[in-house]
A = this chain, B = another copy of it.
């Protein structure tokens, strides 16, 4: 579990502690593949026998985003949606307006395009997120 080492180092470097709760959140985040909301993560943790309060889930999630192990995918009207990143290569998302399904894709051309666009605007791009909205295969009608 490379992610545990990454997290430990990150915390250590800032004088923070690797607690049971933080470990529980991290391992739960990496126990499945897909997108999640904080509340869903919280319920999985409770169901898994570990313990961590909602507050700790939120606090830990912030740390995980800060150290790059988790990424905020998008924000719905309800709240944030996250995904873990380690072992995941960079990708973007298509979101179905009908059923809400989130489909991942990767485009080499898009990566190059970002560099081009940044150069043209004297901007130093560090990351990008392309979100395409529409109808997925199932909801095509």
Over the window 94-122 of chain A, the binary record of Cβ atoms lying under 8 Å from chain B Cβ atoms (1 yes, 0 no) is: 10110000010101011001101110111
- A19 neighbours in B (Cβ, 8 Å): none
Assess the B130–A134 pair: CB atoms within 8 A: no
CA distance A94 to B75 in the complex (A): 17
Nearest B residue (CB) for A75: B75
**Interface on A for B, CB 8 Å cutoff?**
75, 94, 96-97, 103, 105, 107, 109-110, 113-114, 116-118, 120-137, 140
Nearest B residue (CB) for A130: B130
Assess the A134–B107 pair: CB atoms within 8 A: no
Assess the A125–B114 pair: CB atoms within 8 A: no
Q: In the complex, given contacts A75-B75, A103-B123, A126-B135, what are 17 additional A-B residue pairs having Cβ atoms less than 8 angstroms apart?
A: A94-B117, A94-B118, A105-B120, A105-B121, A114-B132, A118-B132, A121-B137, A122-B136, A122-B140, A123-B132, A123-B135, A124-B135, A125-B133, A126-B133, A128-B130, A128-B131, A129-B130
CA distance A36 to B107 in the complex (A): 32
Taken together, the copies of this chain in the complex come to: 2
- A125 neighbours in B (Cβ, 8 Å): 94, 132-134
Given contacts A113-B113, A131-B129, contact A123 B136 (CB under 8 A): yes
